[in-house]
Amino acid sequence: MKSLALQLDTKIFLICCLLLTISGCMNKPNYASVDDYPTYSGSDLGLTYTEKHSLFKLWSPAAEKVKVNLYSSGNSNDKIETYQMTRDKNGVWSVSIKGDLNGKYYTYQVRQNGAWLQEKPDLYSTAVGVNGQRTMILDLNSTDPKGWTEDQRPKLASFTDIVIYESQIRDLTISSNSGVENKGKYIGLTESGTINSFGQSTGLDHIKDLGITHIHLLPTFDHRSIDESRLEEPQYNWGYDPLNYNVPEGSFSSDPFNGEVRIREFKKMVQTLHGNGIRVILDVVYNHTGQTEDSNFNQLVPNYYYRKNEDDTFSDASACGNETASERYMMRKYIVESVVYWATEYHLDGFRFDLMGIHDLETMNAVTQALHKIDSTIFVYGEGWTAGQSPLPTNQQALKANTPQLESVAAFSDDLRDGLKGSVFNHEEGGFVSQVPGLKESIKFGIVGSTQHPQIDYQKVNYSNSFWANSPAQCINYVSCHDNHTLFDKLRIPKPDADESEIKKMHKLAQTIVLTSQGVPFLHAGTELLRSKNGIENSFESPDEINEIDWDRKHTYQDVVQYYQELIELRKNHPAFRMKTTSDIQKNLEFLDYDGSNFLAYQIGDNANGDEWNKILVLLNGSDLNKTIKLPQGTWTLIADGNQIKNSGIAQRSSTITIPAMTAFVLKQD
């Protein structure tokens, strides 16, 4: 009898095991591909914190199991407990943990295809420990600086009123002659009264005096290239290697080990800039991640967030190892929710999309639609190209040529950039300002903000065979940025025998064209100081000695600083340079017929855009010879002569005028 009972017990046990196995198989998801994954429309992924409990939610449809690992700190071997998560609907896993977990840290870990993958921070992390390896549980209200709820965006009437100034945080204050106490930090940009070796303003005061409206910060989300635990050692990187998208970078904070500090200091920086009339733009890099197989995305939801080639390898339109799949519902949702988070939690005023051409048009339109529900003056722009081929069809990509299909999204004009100074890929090639012929149509195209204009011969534009901006607000005009050589360094290469006075003239001519053209002007920080990187083209990981702004150059080139300051003021004072519509440009801006392969002239008439000046004449001499022309009928007042800008006038002319070589003139007729 005992033997029979034992046999029965064994059979019952085996049947129970079989039933449990069958039940497990029934619960185990089975998808033909990631495109079959269910999606989740809720807005509560990540952490929902209260003093009584914390709710954790992760979307990972194909996972077999998911757990949360709770830690006391952001980097020590001090695990408190591991909690198993429960599968909910639509591929979401969740667990609620009782008690006040404020100040604790956690990771997720996913089991898929029979194996536990790596521990990773929450994709929706809003605070992290040192080097971003664990998510911090934090009451974000505690990170608000005093007066944060009263912080207001500086007023902005139109996107064409914007003047952008682009810099990396560290570059602005790290030099020994910056006069800044908190060098290379967020709070370094909150310091006023800082001076260089000659007693001239630096940092925040300098930027404010220059007159720009927006500061564009190179990636300041948490990136992986800098070891935040060794900041006493020399390290530098621009930060185009994303780790945690919704968290400020720790190396710019005074304490990267405490996740609360970087948040508070970032907010204080934004608050201070706003208080000084400057809006803040964040450079965002949603097109790829710093890691591929080992990335947070790929370890928590393998293969979903990335595009693949037909052979199942990761596609790489970013030239950084991978490209994200913005066309997939959850990636698009992630991008949109991320920018909305930055705009609300950090009061940011704009976003510059790195390699925007990798993203699909629908995603970029969803971005602006969501942001403009918050504030219609939030500005979005990006690089309308990719760094390599993508599986996404070109007619779906947010490329420069597809800009007409974008809603309130601007793109950079490489047409004007290379037309002015020469190709960024061919270092020996010069441009319009360095006496290279055949580029007039490219310059004219930039002057009208890449819009449709009857006097542009599009077949002669360097990179575009048609207009690509529906309105001037969709065109970013520039001649230099963090990428490639500084303008000062680039101008020297094709003209090795030119003396510095000639380089200076070409430099001022190029930026005068940028700042008097229709569209949105964009300046590389330090261009007003004739910034140099000692000829280094790609300084993404060069030391501070190459990347820092040398503030003593302000003394050496004070005349250039003042000229650019006056040039920005001229643009801001005269709405004729800031027309809002293509039809206004077509109606009011006329190119004049003068000979010369490197000479251009145009007139803006009829008190354009409500300007107090009836007519404005802009004369651009890119040749190395003086140019004498007959003026249009009437008496003209010379306002800008390449050396100074006087609203009251420098001189009057009524018949002919001579424009010096490599110089821009601006004249008015009341």
CATH no. for residue 39?
2.60.40.10
Q: Are 371 and 340 in contact (CB under 8 A)?
A: yes
Question: What is the biggest distance separating any 2 CA atoms in the chain, rounded to whole angstroms?
Answer: 125
Q: What share of the chain is helix, strand, coil (3-state, %, to 5)?
A: 35, 20, 45
Q: Are residues 571 and 631 in the same domain?
A: no
pLDDT score of 28 more than 90:
no
Q: Are residues 375 and 431 in the same domain?
A: yes
Per DSSP, the residues of 325-356 read -TTSHHHHHHHHHHHHHHHHHS---EEEETTG
Q: Are residues 122 and 194 in the same domain?
A: no
pLDDT at position 121 is 98
367 in any annotated domain: yes
387 in any annotated domain: yes
CATH no. for residue 655?
2.60.40.1180
- The arithmetic mean of pLDDT across residues 284-290, rounded, is 98
pLDDT score of 401 more than 60:
yes
Give the H/E segment covering residue 207: helix 203-210
Q: Are residues 336 and 227 in the same domain?
A: yes
Q: Are residues 227 and 300 in the same domain?
A: yes
Q: Are 106 and 56 in contact (CB under 8 A)?
A: yes
Per DSSP, the residues of 274-325 read HHTT-EEEEEE-TT--S-STTSHHHHHSTTTTB-B-TTSPBP-TTSSS--B-
Q: Are residues 264 and 294 in the same domain?
A: yes
Task: Confirm whether 383 is a catalytic residue.
Answer: yes
Residue 80: which domain range? 34-143
Q: How far apart are CA 44 and CA 42, in angstroms?
A: 6
Q: Are residues 218 and 340 in the same domain?
A: yes
Q: Are residues 90 and 41 in the same domain?
A: yes
Domain boundary among the residues 532, 556, 578 is at 578
- The arithmetic mean of pLDDT across residues 108-131, rounded, is 98
258 in any annotated domain: yes
Convert the pLDDT of each residue in 406-435 to its tens digit: 999 999 999 999 999 999 999 999 999 999
Phi, psi angle pair for 453, to nearest 5°? -145, 135
Task: Confirm whether 354 is a catalytic residue.
Answer: yes
* Domains identified in the chain, total number: 3
DSSP 128: B
pLDDT score of 575 more than 50:
yes
531 in any annotated domain: yes
3 in any annotated domain: no
Among 161, 241, 265, 354, the active-site one is: 354
Q: Are residues 139 and 198 in the same domain?
A: no
Cα Rg for the chain, rounded, in angstroms?
28
Nearest to 259 by CA among 56, 122, 82: 122
26 in any annotated domain: no
- The arithmetic mean of pLDDT across residues 638-645, rounded, is 98
25 in any annotated domain: no
Q: In percent, how much of the chain has pLDDT > 90?
A: 95
Q: Are residues 515 and 655 in the same domain?
A: no
Convert the pLDDT of each residue in 529-569 to its tens digit: 999 999 999 999 999 999 999 999 999 999 999 999 999 99
Convert the pLDDT of each residue in 333-367 to its tens digit: 999 999 999 999 999 999 999 999 999 999 999 99
Domain boundary among the residues 97, 118, 143 is at 143
Q: Are residues 569 and 593 in the same domain?
A: no
19 in any annotated domain: no
Among 228, 383, 418, 584, the active-site one is: 383
Long-range contacts of 402-406 (CB under 8 A, 24+ apart): 402/361, 402/468, 403/468, 403/469, 403/470, 403/474, 404/468, 404/469, 404/470, 405/361, 406/361, 406/364, 406/365, 406/368, 406/474
The confidence band for 11, taking pLDDT boundaries of 50, 70 and 90, is: low
Domain boundary among the residues 549, 578, 607 is at 578
- The arithmetic mean of pLDDT across residues 6-18, rounded, is 48
- The arithmetic mean of pLDDT across residues 442-459, rounded, is 98
CATH no. for residue 414?
3.20.20.80
Q: Encoding tokens for residue 546?
A: 């190459």
Q: Are residues 400 and 513 in the same domain?
A: yes
